[in-house]
Structure 1
Amino acid sequence: MSSRPWIALAVVPLLCATAPLAWAATPEQVAAQALAEAPVWDGHNDVPEQLRDRRKDVLAGFDFADTMNTADPAKGIDPMQTDLARLHKGHVGAQFWSVYVSATLPEPQAVQAVLEQIDVMKRVVAANPDTMMLATSSADVEKAMKQGKIASLLGMEGGHSIGSSLGVLRQMYALGARYMTLTHFKDTPWADSATDAPQHNGLTPFGKNVVREMQRIGMLVDLSHVSAKTMADALDVAKAPVIFSHSGAIAVDGHPRNVPDAILDRLKANGGIVMVNFYPSYVSEAVRQWQASRAGEATRQGILHPDAPEVAKAALEAWDKAHPKPVATLSDIADHIDHIVKRIGADHVGLGGDFDGGSVGVEGMPDVSAYPALFTELARRGYSKADLEKISSGNMMRVLKAAESYAQAHRADPPIESPTTF
């Protein structure tokens, strides 16, 4: 023992004061620790759409382990943004695969096409049993994550998918669909879209019954793509948490595809989440304004030179040179997360990248491998490991469990009926 014990005693508080500085985790370490414990659960990926557009749903010769060779430069087609190798690199542990089909299809054709998309994604999962697992419940997601597999859930994008039939809705659930976006870019016969002229002032009475029946059976109500009035009407009816599978904050980017603050406030009371989207014009107000200005200039040149399209084209090219397109960035995505967290808390935000469906050109987020970079940015902004785990998958798990609990409590309720139309 030291002959001068007071020296040793004086050193102890000094060590205690300096130890946290010596052991402070870097943002990269905080992000890595959070993702190791809570892998990303992404709300929206359009691989099924790519399979339909590129391959007509024929999987012979398709290798989902690596899709970097899927480009077709002659047709201006880029490689896919998603494959198993990059999902692993991105720490994606659960994915809602969007079984989207075009909203321009007549409803009977849309129903058939969605069935085909459910089928093709199930075949992809079945072809990769070592790395993927079909999931239809929160318990399945937990099991898949524990096994190190990608929990693969199905989400229908657009209410045209059910052909205005509650019977079809119930059968889609039976086939594994676990959310439905009420509209896509066009109104349905029962709900208004964010990007179409409103026809119904939100939800019709049938549309409200769609929401009720979805929650009765345990299907998540997805309010991305719908008008603000449709959002409000759905929240009026909802008894369980709802989601926005791939949207941002309208206060950061004014696109109507994003969520107004007044709806965010109601979402907090509902217990739901916004899964933040990476689509450039929904992420960056500068990009949105540039696109509007360019469209206006193209129209102006067409009116000025209706007899000389080559002159109009040259004038637009000159405008492009004088007005370079802004670039949406990873930091812009973090700004949306910041706004939602500051407005309603870290319990109400997740991620819905929309990769392979339009989220191309965001600097720092090229594909599904880049989620760690976003989490590092959030950690750099001061997000705790606990909050990062909520954003990555904890919040989505809570919401799905709440939807399942509500459905379980109402399992004895009779199905809502609607008459057939033909």
Structure 2
Amino acid sequence: MRRFLLATATTALVMSSPTMAQDSAESTAAAALDAAPVWDGHNDVPIQLRSRVGNVIDGFDFRDTLDTATAGRSAMHSDLVRLREGKVGAQWWSVYVSADLPEPEAVQATVEQIDVTKRLIARYPDDMQLALTADDVEEAMAAGRIASLLGMEGGHSIGSSLAVLRQMYDLGARYMTLTHGKTLSWADSATDAPKHDGLNAFGMDVVREMNRIGMLVDLSHVSEAAMMDALDVAQAPVIFSHSGARAVTGHLRNVPDNVLTRLPANGGIVMVVALPWFITEDLRQHAADRVAEEARLKALYPGLPDTVEAQLAKWDAENRAPVSTISDMADHIDHVRDVAGIDHIGIGGDYDGMPTGPVGMEDVTGYPALFVELAKRGYSQDDLEKISSRNMMRVMRAAEAYVASVASMTPIEYPAGEARDGEE
């Protein structure tokens, strides 16, 4: 008995060592990502194609984009080699276009972005597969290909038209973020002056029609009031394709607790973002301080831009930006779990739509390190599989089930050309 107790104590001591704990966390994370690769909610490669090569991709090599750095511009965050290293099995590709475009131009540009993304997917049939349904995602992942889905980022992409919305769905778009950085004639943005206290009547019909056709409602970028209005109307789960928790970092792009508490009833998920200024409060505060300092210097030295630049450089040298870490991102995941539950978390990196990810997650190769951090915090393999892709799969299947349940429902119709401004 004495020998048994001694052996047991020795084993426990060894298992409790930092090395063994690290090995255990790494094996748990690896097993989870092997069973359920990451289904990422938001990647901006398509707008990189537009801005870097004008959507002319015949000479563009997506296997390796490390050589895409130019003067004043860093290399892209994503390519096929690094997506594999990052254990990405499914990707929502954002067909984003600028919200500054007039809506007719935005509609055309969105179609162009859908086109170039489909062409990119078709160029690599051994590595990528267009996915329009949950079954397509499962099929692609089972075949070892990256399931590739299309998401529109901003309602300006439909030109205030339900007809255009339906046609975008037919072209392959499977989610739409209701706004981007600007308030629309029917929906308030989180980062612009509100006009509707959320969604107006047409905005609520957009949500209803998206549910009817099976396009996921994405509430990243929208105001808190618009989030609440959408949840009031939605009959299928919503997503936040790339957002954090506002209680952890106070950026208005993040999700407040009163919205998180409603997610279980809706069935939706927050796909936690990696963008440093959204996940690290000290960094957000530093950025605000810098903006204030720049405004102060411009007021002190009007008409002397060189002096302003020199003084701002001095301020930068004396006020180094805080560092954003993997632990910061994990803190947001912890908070969403604590408020909404483990079934309502996903991952939405926002790579190629930001300067860099956190230290250790600078590009798409960093997801395994995040999952190791979560395993160290006590997340089980089952928990990690839900976060990586199973929660997103459940959401998509629920949206498809709702479509089947309302198959006899007719489209919502509006007279062609009718203005949407001011509708209540």
Question: Which TM-score tier does this pair reach, normalised by the shorter chain?
Answer: over 0.9
CA distance in 1, matches of 2:321, 2:100: 30
Q: How far off is 1:18 after superposition?
A: 7.7
The 5 Å alignment of 1:391-410 reads 391-410=387-406
CA distance in 1, matches of 2:355, 2:214: 29
1:62 corresponds to 2:60: yes
1:95 corresponds to 2:84: no
CA distance in 1, matches of 2:263, 2:76: 33
Q: Percent identity?
A: 61
Q: CA RMSD in A?
A: 1.7
The change in CA–CA distance for 1:105 and 1:31 in structure 2 (over 3 A counts) is same
1:327 corresponds to 2:323: yes
CA distance in 2, matches of 1:12, 1:37: 36
2:96 match: secondary structure: coil
TM-score by length of 2: 0.94
From 44, 49, 73, the equivalent of 2:42 is 44
Deviations 1:115-170 (A, max 9, x none): 00000000011000001100000000000111011000000000000000001100
Deviations 1:352-388 (A, max 9, x none): 0000001515211111111000000000111110000
CA distance in 1, matches of 2:314, 2:175: 45
CA distance in 2, matches of 1:394, 1:97: 18
Note if contact 1:217-1:411 (Cα within 8 Å) is conserved in structure 2.
Answer: no
CA distance in 2, matches of 1:54, 1:313: 28
From 307, 315, 336, the equivalent of 1:340 is 336
1:93 match: secondary structure: strand
Note if contact 1:228-1:260 (Cα within 8 Å) is conserved in structure 2.
Answer: yes
TM-score by length of 1: 0.94
Q: How far off is 1:308 after superposition?
A: 2.6
1:69 match: secondary structure: helix
Deviates more, 1:285-294 or 1:304-313: 304-313
From 359, 362, 376, the equivalent of 1:363 is 359
Deviations 1:309-353 (A, max 9, x none): 222222222211221111111111001001111111111010000
1:384 corresponds to 2:385: no
Note if contact 1:40-1:94 (Cα within 8 Å) is conserved in structure 2.
Answer: yes
CA distance in 2, matches of 1:157, 1:311: 39
1:154 match: secondary structure: strand
Counterpart position of 2:421: none
CA distance in 2, matches of 1:163, 1:241: 24
* Runs of 4+, deviation exceeding 4 Å: 10-25
CA distance in 2, matches of 1:162, 1:46: 19
Q: How far off is 1:14 after superposition?
A: 8.2
2:241 match: secondary structure: strand
Counterpart position of 1:123: 119
1:319 match: secondary structure: helix
2:65 match: secondary structure: coil
1:288 corresponds to 2:287: no
Counterpart position of 1:240: 236
CA distance in 2, matches of 1:380, 1:227: 34
Counterpart position of 1:4: none
The change in CA–CA distance for 1:122 and 1:307 in structure 2 (over 3 A counts) is closer
Counterpart position of 1:80: 76
CA distance in 1, matches of 2:230, 2:294: 38
Q: How far off is 1:241 after superposition?
A: 0.6
From 409, 416, 421, the equivalent of 1:420 is 416
Note if contact 2:267-2:395 (Cα within 8 Å) is conserved in structure 1.
Answer: yes
Deviations 1:218-260 (A, max 9, x none): 1100000000000000000011110000000000110000000
Q: How far off is 1:307 after superposition?
A: 3.6
Note if contact 1:195-1:256 (Cα within 8 Å) is conserved in structure 2.
Answer: yes
2:235 match: secondary structure: coil
Counterpart position of 1:150: 146
Number of aligned residue pairs: give it. 412
Counterpart position of 1:195: 191
1:306 corresponds to 2:313: no
The 5 Å alignment of 1:99-118 reads 99-118=95-114
CA distance in 2, matches of 1:162, 1:50: 21
Uncovered stretches (5+) of structure 2, i.e. residues with no partner:
419-424
Counterpart position of 1:3: none
Q: How far off is 1:291 after superposition?
A: 0.7
The 5 Å alignment of 1:150-169 reads 150-169=146-165
CA distance in 2, matches of 1:388, 1:19: 27
Uncovered stretches (5+) of structure 1, i.e. residues with no partner:
1-6
CA distance in 2, matches of 1:26, 1:316: 47
CA distance in 2, matches of 1:309, 1:203: 42
1:178 corresponds to 2:177: no
Q: How far off is 1:17 after superposition?
A: 8.5
CA distance in 2, matches of 1:104, 1:227: 18
